[in-house]
Structure 1
Amino acid sequence: MGILSIGKTDIGRVRKNNQDAIYLNHQVHLYLVADGMGGHSGGEIASSIAVESISKYFMSNVNKLAPEELLKNAIKFANQSIFQYSKNSPALRGMGTTACLLFFSGSNLYVANVGDSRAYLINRGYLYQLSKDHSLVQEKINLGIYTREEAAKDRQKNVLVRAVGHEERVEIDVFNYRVSRNDMFIICSDGLHGKVSDRDLLYLASKQIADPAVASKEQIEALALKLIEQANCNGGQDNISVIVSVAQ
């Protein structure tokens, strides 16, 4: 089984700089979206350090560690790198970033995430969220205080309870899934999923790629660009990043 992936990032319609960063390594099938936060360019720096640190640790240890441990350690390494950088630069104190990773290993998929960047699976006409949001509103949903519809209108919907590099230690979720031919995977920053509903995401993906097993690079790229276009049409207040992967 092969994995075909395309990634795109866009500044959006409002922000003056892009604090998102993406990483695609087709050799080992590692894909990452990081959405930085912090003033004085802190978000841009944090997401950049995350991509550099995670990829460096991963490639140095890919044949030495089990996938779950490998992903957790890679994110912990990035956390320490960002946290130390901010300690040495007072203007950047408190900067951090989300991190959502996909690692395909044979017929297994490992998803690791911190923050509210998301991983989705589209299979047989259904969309499933594979990651868990680490946000204040998600905690309220978990406690039954909010419905998802109510949470989407909350002014604190972008407040995170976990971020890479924000504190000295970080808690990381790792999930393991089986991959089937025809599966489509999307990882994205909240600049996309905050502006394009799950229903619209599924509709656009299914319309653009009817059969992931035979999708071309051009089709996958067109979907990534269409999702960004839709987020911008719906306001584009944030940076927008997306990586689309299909199992063939």
Structure 2
Amino acid sequence: MPLLFAGNTDVGLKRSTNQDSIFMDGKLKYFVVADGMGGHKGGDIASQAAVKELSEFLKNGDRSNPEEILIKSLAHTNQAILKKGNDNPLWKGMGTTVVEYYFKSSKLYIGNVGDSRGYLVNQKNLYQLTKDHSLIQEKMNFGMYTREQAKKDPQKNVLSRTVGFDEEVEIDIYNYKVQKNDIFLLCSDGLYGMVSDADILFLINKHIPAPAKAGKDELATAVNSLITHANSAGGEDNISVILILTR
């Protein structure tokens, strides 16, 4: 299953450092967005460590069972980041979100911790494939908030799960039967917090109107357009975007 892909990460307009990290490997067919937080300069350390530990684990591990290796990779990375924080008081309490996509045969396997998101664009529609691990999402799950109310809550960025903060981490695993010309998006909250789902869909469809004919340049243009629009809306956070087109 050939893949076309493009990605980028941007500091945004309000932050002095970029604590997001991304990883893309077309040969391995593995992609990661990580959004770090916590500690003195710990956020960027955590996200950088996450993509390094995850990618090396995938490259060197037994990938015959995709869901199992995603779980093991995240558990391993959780311990590696936790150790870094315990070894250095300046990094104590750091952690990171992770959303990871691994394509094998005709399926996509997703590992997720935190509130970075995975989406699918299929037949001009946008579907969120992951569920946020945040206090707001938990309130929404119990019917306490609507999505519009949640956007105004001061605790909207408080996470209920992160990689590298606790001894054990609960991991969500999903799988999806891939179709030809599907478009997959991975992003940090710096994108979807600034750009609505409707506008994300509009921009992807605008720059990739015919996925069957699209090339890497169209994907790169769409990625940069999404980042530009997040900054135009305020650029409150770091912004990371990866787009993948299946052939």
TM-score past 0.5 threshold: yes
Q: What is the distance in 2 between the residues matched to 1:62 and 1:41?
A: 34
Counterpart in the other structure of 1:89? 88
Q: What is the distance in 1 between the residues matched to 2:62 and 2:129?
A: 23
Counterpart in the other structure of 2:101? 102
TM-score, normalised to structure 1, is 0.98
Percent identity reads: 50
Counterpart in the other structure of 1:197? 196
Please list, as runs of the form range in 1=range in 2, the aligned pairs for 1:165-184 lying within 5 A after superposition.
165-184=164-183
Please list, as runs of the form range in 1=range in 2, the aligned pairs for 1:25-64 lying within 5 A after superposition.
25-63=25-63
Please list, as runs of the form range in 1=range in 2, the aligned pairs for 1:1-248 lying within 5 A after superposition.
1-63=1-63, 65-248=64-247
Residues 227 and 239 in structure 2, CA contact (< 8 A), matched pair in contact too:
yes
TM-score, normalised to structure 2, is 0.98
Q: What is the distance in 1 between the residues matched to 2:65 and 2:125?
A: 30
Offset of residue 214 of structure 1: 2.0
Secondary structure of 1:21's match? strand
**AA in 2 matched with 1:202:** L
Q: What is the distance in 1 between the residues matched to 2:203 and 2:7?
A: 16
Q: What is the distance in 1 between the residues matched to 2:112 and 2:193?
A: 17
Q: Residues 110-169 of structure 1: CA distance to partner in whole angstroms, max 9, x if unpaired?
A: 011000000000011211000110000000000000001111111111100000001111
Q: What is the distance in 1 between the residues matched to 2:210 and 2:113?
A: 31
**AA in 2 matched with 1:109:** L
> Which consecutive aligned stretches of 4+ in structure 1 deviate over 6 angstroms post-superposition?
none
**AA in 1 matched with 2:40:** H
Q: What is the distance in 2 between the residues matched to 1:211 and 1:147?
A: 34
**AA in 1 matched with 2:242:** I
Q: What is the distance in 1 between the residues matched to 2:32 and 2:62?
A: 15
Q: What is the distance in 2 between the residues matched to 1:82 and 1:242?
A: 23
Offset of residue 39 of structure 1: 3.0
Q: What is the distance in 1 between the residues matched to 2:124 and 2:57?
A: 36
Offset of residue 213 of structure 1: 2.2
Offset of residue 211 of structure 1: 1.8
Q: What is the distance in 1 between the residues matched to 2:201 and 2:179?
A: 18
Q: Residues 45-67 of structure 1: CA distance to partner in whole angstroms, max 9, x if unpaired?
A: 0001101110111111144x400
Over the aligned positions, Cα root-mean-square deviation in angstroms equals 0.8
Residues 208 and 214 in structure 2, CA contact (< 8 A), matched pair in contact too:
yes
Residues 36 and 98 in structure 1, CA contact (< 8 A), matched pair in contact too:
yes
| Equivalences, count | 247
Residues 213 and 247 in structure 1, CA contact (< 8 A), matched pair in contact too:
no
Q: What is the distance in 1 between the residues matched to 2:211 and 2:173?
A: 25
Offset of residue 242 of structure 1: 0.5
Change (3 A) 1:62 1:215: farther
Q: What is the distance in 2 between the residues matched to 1:213 and 1:121?
A: 16
Secondary structure of 1:75's match? helix
Offset of residue 182 of structure 1: 1.6
Secondary structure of 2:100's match? strand
Q: Which runs of 5+ in 1 are unaligned?
A: none
Q: What is the distance in 2 between the residues matched to 1:117 and 1:217?
A: 23
Q: What is the distance in 2 between the residues matched to 1:58 and 1:183?
A: 24
Q: What is the distance in 2 between the residues matched to 1:182 and 1:152?
A: 32
Offset of residue 92 of structure 1: 1.4
**AA in 1 matched with 2:115:** D
Offset of residue 91 of structure 1: 2.0
